[in-house]
Amino acid sequence: MAKGTELIEELVNRAEALRRAFRDHNFTPDNVKLDIKRYTMKEAEELVGRSHQAIRDAEDDGRLERPEKGPNGRRQGFTLAQINRMRDVFGTRPTTTDEDEPIILAVSNFKGGSAKSTLSTHLAEYLARAGYRVLLIDCDSQASATSTFGYLPDDDLDEEHTLLPYLRDEEDSLEYAIRPTYWDGLDLLPANLRLYQAEYELAHNVTPETFSMLREGIRDIAHRYQIIIMDPPPALGMISLNVMYAANALIIPMPPAMYDFSSTISFLTMLYETMSVIEKRLGSVDYKFVKIAITRFDENKSAQTALVDLSESELGNALLTAKFKESAEIVTAGNLQRTVYELDRPTTSARVHKRCLNVLDTINGEIELLIRKSWPSHTRKLRAAGLL
């Protein structure tokens, strides 16, 4: 009879081989993930806020480069980097002023399976696609967000590429771990399994300052970004408490199932009690907004619909209006190690793909509006436009 550790070790080795094979299948021939999405002229007009003719004129006079042509001689479409170059040329990239504090948004729930990482990655790409400067910090040792961006966390990344050296006081700044992604305007601070060691190490010698380490680190690099999104572990441990204290906004994903409802209530209760203690030692945490997002919602299931209706009646405006609905397009995109925003063509059907994009754009757009409302310069613009 084999020892339990030997059986588990064999299973680990086989699982790692499967994960490598999975990446080889998705990112052949060189295992490098690239942004394959190309935007049509119509999409460019909408994203940039300028007409087809204005874009053509800027190409003609040399302010903009023309898109590459395919073998058939037709334009292949614009990359996101080219879209952002257009924004810079026309002055339509979203701007913030010194009075607009960077948003540091935590997407957190301590129950797994809440679509926390799925929401974080899609939101980060949506905001970067809109022209904002975005940093995604993967604080979860399961590293789902990191994997989405093409890495095998424990093969491609060592512990020194994660938050771990900073949380050990071996680094004075988070700069060492920040890396650009293939998605223009979006940087990543990745994670891997070794990050879990921080939970034990931070708990070994707890002081009030233990809970403010990440806050201090983010404060030093926040000027580089307009929005920082944090994807913490699905547990209320030392890293998650650092995330909660570092954040100035919070989205809590909650699937419409009774166990998830109960878990979210427990999460909120424990968070309130723990943060109350931390605030007494370190000072208050001011959140610009706190919202619950209904995730993994299947509107064809009557039991889920009933729970959502009940949630809306009891939670009111604590809920985001938009729902993050289940979609086969999200599942199949995930199997390709991509978000839906990265797909160059539907993986299911054109109808399902379009409906899924509408859902994603609606919920992410609602979060973007919350962010803009927190910025004084944008509040004035929104009020002038009659949107407040």
Scored b (16 or more CB within 10 A) or e, 310-327 reads: ebeeeeeeebbebbbbbb
* Residue range 258-280: mean pLDDT, rounded: 85
Q: Are 113 and 295 in contact (CB under 8 A)?
A: no
Q: Which residues contact 106 (CB under 8 A, 6 or more apart)?
A: 229, 230, 232, 243, 244, 246, 247, 249, 250, 251
Residue with tokens 């994660």: 162
Distance CA 179, CA 190 (A): 8
Start-end of H helices in 144-223: 144-148, 153-156, 164-167, 197-204, 213-221
Helix H or strand E segment including 303: helix 302-315
> Looking at the domain 103-376, which fold is it?
Rossmann fold (3.40.50)
Tell me the three state secondary structure of residue 179. strand
Domain ranges of the chain: 41-90, 103-376
pLDDT tens readout for residues 19-44: 666 566 566 555 678 888 999 999 99
Residue 29, preceding bond cis, omega within 30 degrees?
A: yes
What is the arrangement of strands in the sheet containing 103-107, beginning at the earlier edge strand?
179-180, 186-189, 134-138, 227-231, 103-107, 249-254, 290-297, 324-325
pLDDT tens readout for residues 225-251: 999 999 999 888 899 999 999 999 999
In degrees, rounded to 5, the angle at the alpha carbon of residue 22 between the alpha carbons of residues 230 and 240 is 20
* Residue range 179-194: mean pLDDT, rounded: 96
Kindly report the backbone phi and psi dihedral angles of residue 376, in degrees, each rounded to the nearest multiple of 5, phi listed first. Answer: -55, -40
Residue 3, judged by CB atoms within 10 A of its CB (0-12, 13-18, 19+), counts as: exposed
Query: What CA–CA distances, in Å, run from 326 to 19, 105, 293, 333?
Result: 25, 23, 13, 13
* Range in 5-14, 31-40, 47-56, 126-135 with the lowest mean pLDDT: 5-14
How high is the pLDDT of residue 28?
Answer: 53
Average pLDDT over the chain, rounded to whole? 90
pLDDT tens readout for residues 128-138: 999 999 999 99
* Residue range 202-214: mean pLDDT, rounded: 88
Residue with tokens 């995330």: 243
For residue 208, name the pLDDT band (cuts at 50, 70, 90): confident
Distance CA 275, CA 241 (A): 8
How high is the pLDDT of residue 14?
Answer: 72
* 299 vs 181, higher pLDDT: 181
